[in-house]
Amino acid sequence: MRSRARCLRQSLNVVAILLAAGSATRFGSDKLLHPLPHDVPIAIQAARHLRAVFGEKVFVVVRPEATLLSDLLRREGCKVVVCENAAEGMGASLACAVRAAADAEGFVVALADMPFIRASTIAAVRAALAAGAPFAAPFFRARRGHPVGIAGTFRAQLEAMKGDEGARRLLEGHQDKIMKVPVGDPGVMRDIDTPSDLAPPSVV
């Protein structure tokens, strides 16, 4: 019976959400289209890591004016969600994506300016949701990183999000329900806010 229940959980329709509708004012140019050293744009690299785990179940939220980024993401096989009120903030963008993924039973939420997260880390977060966790997040050196997993039971709260709150407040209100996924992946803590963040991190 236990193995059968486990198989049922593994068949949950968990999707990935990539938030790519930020304004990137600190970068000085279109951050998400900026090429990494191997000439792949930042957002595309982040999307590829999600695609490696989720296949076609990757929903990417963009601003209405992000036509080039949208075209590139569609070529990668992503489902592009144009959020008309993306300028309101991350919470509004997340709500748009959750509404677009109407059949999803769980969500792994990632940020487009974090292109260094390993596919194995993403898969581990998805597996935690499939195992029944209400929330899941990777922890690197005891620090919580990204992406975060959120069960479909919280759909209503996600769809009601506004402004720039994102999922952080939701997670902070359920600290005791977060499944900690230990990883040796520094990419879960590494986002790109300025051009200097593209430099290789120093070895500690």
- Residue 48 domain-assigned? yes
Neighbours of 193 (CB within 10 A): 13
Q: How far apart are the first and last CA of the chain?
A: 47
137 assigned to some structural domain:
yes
φ/ψ of 24, rounded to 5, equals 55, 45
Judge whether 145 lies within some domain: yes
Instruction: Tell me which residue range forms the domain holding 175.
Output: 2-195
* 3-class secondary-structure state, position 102: coil
pLDDT of the residue at 31: 87
> Residue 44 sits in a domain of what CATH number?
3.90.550.10
Asked if the structure places residue 201 within a domain, the reply is no
Residue 204 in any domain: the answer is no
In this structure, is residue 202 part of a structural domain? Answer: no
Which amino acid does the sequence have at 166? G
Question: Is 153 inside any structural domain?
Answer: yes
Q: Does a structural domain hold residue 78?
A: yes
What pLDDT was estimated at residue 11? 77
DSSP reduced 3-state for 190: coil
The whole-model pTM stands at 0.90
Round to whole Å and give the CA distance between 128 and 143: 17
Measured CA to CA, the distance from residue 121 to residue 133 in angstroms comes to: 16
Alpha-carbon torsion, ordered 37, 43, 48, 50, to 10 deg: 130
Give me the number of domains the chain comprises.
1
Residue 94 CB contacts under 8 Å (≥ 6 apart), including other chains: 17, 19, 61, 109, 158, 161, 166, 167
DSSP state, 105? S
Residue showing tokens 């590139």? 72
pLDDT in tens, the chain (204 residues): 454 445 445 578 999 999 999 766 555 458 899 999 889 999 999 999 999 999 999 999 999 999 999 999 999 999 999 999 999 999 999 999 999 999 999 999 999 999 999 999 999 999 999 999 999 999 999 999 999 999 999 999 999 998 887 788 898 889 999 999 999 999 999 988 766 666 666 544
